[in-house]
Amino acid sequence: MAMRALINEIRGMKVREVPAYLKPKLTWENVKNGADQAIDRYIEKYIETSSPEPLFHVCFGLMAFSYLVNLPEERRHLAHLEELERQGAAGAHH
């Protein structure tokens, strides 16, 4: 909800006014406090209630991370297959 309020505030500004508005809000101290509050809310909502959702969050997070780590290799593989196709040697692969 805080992000929506921030976006609504910025929406009415001119582009050149935005950096001066955001700079005081994006100090290291504010970022640390925001992260601490978010972690505290997460702990209250999921950990202290013995919810199984943190396990799902970890599983989905690891799945997304492994996909992103493997993505460059897959792109290289697909580019190689496309190059073979352009050369007419696609049937010789695999």
The domains of the chain are located at 16-50, 52-93
Whole-number pLDDT of residue 19:
92
Whole-number pLDDT of residue 89:
64
* Residue carrying the six token digits 């972690």: 39
Whole-number pLDDT of residue 45:
93
Mean pLDDT per 10-residue segment, the chain (94 residues): 84 92 91 94 92 94 96 94 83 54
Q: Round to whole Å and give the CA distance between 53 and 7.
A: 29
Q: Round to whole Å and give the CA distance between 42 and 48.
A: 9
| pTM over cut 0.85 | no
Q: Round to whole Å and give the CA distance between 85 and 72.
A: 20
Whole-number pLDDT of residue 3:
83
Is residue 48 within 8 A of residue 37, CB to CB? The reply is: no
